[in-house]
Amino acid sequence: MATLNNAPRDSFSSRIGVIAAAAGSAVGLGNIWRFPYVAGENGGGAFLLIYLGFILAIGFPVMLAELTIGRRAQLNALGSFKKLAPGKPWFLVGLMGIVAAFLILAFYSTIAGWTLEYLIQAIGNQFAGKSPNQLKESFEIFQSGTFRPLLWQMIFMFLTGYIVYSGVKNGIEKYTKILMPVLFLLILVMTVRSVTLEGASGGLNFLFKPDFSKITWPVVLDALGQAAFSLSIGMGALITYGSYIQKNNPLPNIALQVTAADTLIAILAGVMIFPAVFAFNIDPAEGFGLVFIVLPNIFEQMAGGYFFSILFFVLLAIAALTSTVSVLEVVVAYFSEELKMTRNKATIIASVAISFVGVFATLSFGPLSDDIIFGRTIFGWFDYLSANVFLPVGALAIVVFVGWFMGKRNVKNEITNEGSLKVLFFPVFIWIVRLIAPVAIAVVFLYGLGVLKL
C-alpha cells in the first residue's frame, strides 16, 4: 500500500542493514542495564538458565513470527492485523502494542537520560579517585534530582524523534551499522577487566552456578519478561521493522542472528557486571541503579579508564537510541498510516505525548519516590507492566495468530520467500507457535502473577 503522497513505502536497503537495525532494536539498555539488575534481584545462575530456555523456545519463534506478519502485510503493527484478518478483532493486538510502546518509552527514556548524564560525568573525569561508596552516593544524588534527569530525558526523546523523522533508510539503518560492532568490542575489553579484579570469582559463581532454591513463579515470569523485553518482541516493533524488509531477504537467518547477538551481549554484560559487583562489595539486588553504580568502579580500576568510560557511555547511549527509535517507530508508523498524518506530525505528536508520560517515570526517583502504589513506584509499574504483562500477552497473541489464524500456507510462503528458501525447521516452528509457546507463556504468566496456584 502506498503512503499518503503515493510514494513507495520506505524500506531497508540491504540485508546487513536489516540485521543492524533489528539488532539495534534488540540490543540496548535491556541487555546492559535491565538484564543485570533483574538477574541480580533473582539470584543469578538459575535465572540465567531459565532466561536462556525462554530465548530459545519462545523468543526466537516469536521474533520470526513478528517479522513474518510484518513482511506479509507490509504495514504498521495495527494495520498488519487489519489486513491479514479483516473484520476480526485481531487489530486489538496491534493497539495493545501501541499502548505498550508508550509505557516502554516513557520509562526507558529515563534510563537513557541517565546514560547521557554519565557520559558528561565521564568527560568531566568525575569517577576518578572516588570510592565505591562515594560513587554510589553521587549516583543517588543525581537520580533523585528533578531538573537534570528530566533535561536528559527530554534531550534523549528529541534525539529519538529526530532519527525516526529522518526515516528508515537514512535514519535508522545508517547509524546502527557501524556502532553496534564497536560496542561489542568495548564490552569485551571491560569484561576482561572485570573478571581480572580481585574477588571476581564470586560474581562468576553467582552468574553461572544455578541455585534452584531461588526459583519461584514470579522469578520465572521475570525471566520470560526479560527475554521478551531484550529481544524487542511482543509489541509489534518487529512487525513494523518486518514490514520494511525486502522480499528476498531470509527471515529465519535474520531472526537467528539477531537473537544470537542479543543473547551474547546480555551474557557478556552479566560477565562484565557481576564480578565487579562482588569485587566492590555491591549488593547484586541493588535494583534499577545497579550498572550505574558498578560501571564507574570498573573504569576507576582500569588502565585508560578515562578514555574507555567516555567511549562506553557514548556507545551505551547509542545502543539505547537504536532501541528507542524502534519503539517510537511503532507509534509513528501507526499514526502516519492509519490516522493519515504526515510522518513529521506523527513523530512530533508521539514524542511529545510520550515525553509527558515519561516525566512521571523520571520523577519516580525524586519528588515522586514516596508514591508507592502496591509496592512499586510509577517507574516500577511501567517497567513491570510492560515487560511482565504487555509483552507476554502480546507474544501469546502473536504466536496464536501465526499458528492458527494466518493460514499455514501464508506463513510458509512468507518464511520460505515463496518457496525459494529451504527452511528445514518449519514443522518444528509451526508446532512451537501453535502449541508449545502459547501454553508455556500462558502457564508462566498466570502462575507468575499468582492468578493460578499450585
Rule CB under 6 A: which residues touch ligand TRP?
25-26, 28-31, 104, 229-230, 232, 235, 237, 323, 326-327, 391
Cell of 427: 514443522
Does the CA dihedral 144-285-269-132 come out positive or negative?
positive
Q: Which residues fall within 8 angstroms of residue 200, CB to CB, at 6 or more apart?
A: 194, 275, 276, 278, 279
Closer CB to ligand TRP, residue 318 or residue 359?
Answer: 318
Q: What is the SS3 assignment for 14?
A: coil
Q: Are 343 and 364 in contact (CB under 8 A)?
A: no
Closer CB to ligand TRP, residue 25 or residue 243?
Answer: 25
Helix (H) or strand (E) holding 170: none
Closer CB to ligand TRP, residue 391 or residue 432?
Answer: 391
Closest CA to 73 of 414, 343, 418: 414
- The distance of closest approach from Cβ of residue 197 to ligand TRP in the complex, given in angstroms and rounded to an integer, is 26
- For residue 373, the 8-state DSSP code is B
> What is the residue whose three cell numbers read 511503532?
330
- The distance of closest approach from Cβ of residue 129 to ligand TRP in the complex, given in angstroms and rounded to an integer, is 32
Q: What is the SS3 assignment for 413?
A: helix
Closer CB to ligand TRP, residue 225 or residue 305?
Answer: 225
- The distance of closest approach from Cβ of residue 359 to ligand TRP in the complex, given in angstroms and rounded to an integer, is 20
Rounded to whole angstroms, the Cα distance separating 8 from 35 reads 39
Closer CB to ligand TRP, residue 102 or residue 152?
Answer: 102
Closer CB to ligand TRP, residue 26 or residue 207?
Answer: 26
Residues paired with residue 373 on neighbouring β-strands, in sequence order: 376
Rounded to whole angstroms, the Cα distance separating 431 from 425 reads 10
Closer CB to ligand TRP, residue 206 or residue 229?
Answer: 229
190: Cα within 13 Å, side-chain hemisphere:
33
- The distance of closest approach from Cβ of residue 431 to ligand TRP in the complex, given in angstroms and rounded to an integer, is 25
406 vs 80, 190, 431, CA distance in Å? 11, 45, 14
What is the distance between the terminal CA atoms of the chain, rounded to a whole angstrom? 49
Does the CA dihedral 386-389-392-394 come out positive or negative?
negative
- The distance of closest approach from Cβ of residue 258 to ligand TRP in the complex, given in angstroms and rounded to an integer, is 10
Helix (H) or strand (E) holding 142: helix 132-143
Q: Is 418 exposed, middle or buried (0-12, 13-18, 19+ CB in 10 A)?
A: exposed
Q: Are 210 and 49 in contact (CB under 8 A)?
A: yes
Closest CA to 410 of 179, 165, 71: 71
**Position with the least CB separation from ligand TRP:** 30
Closer CB to ligand TRP, residue 29 or residue 119?
Answer: 29
Q: Are 263 and 274 in contact (CB under 8 A)?
A: no
Closer CB to ligand TRP, residue 279 or residue 322?
Answer: 322
Closer CB to ligand TRP, residue 326 or residue 364?
Answer: 326
- CA–CA–CA angle 184, 189, 192 (5° rounding): 125
- The distance of closest approach from Cβ of residue 448 to ligand TRP in the complex, given in angstroms and rounded to an integer, is 18
Closer CB to ligand TRP, residue 282 or residue 395?
Answer: 395
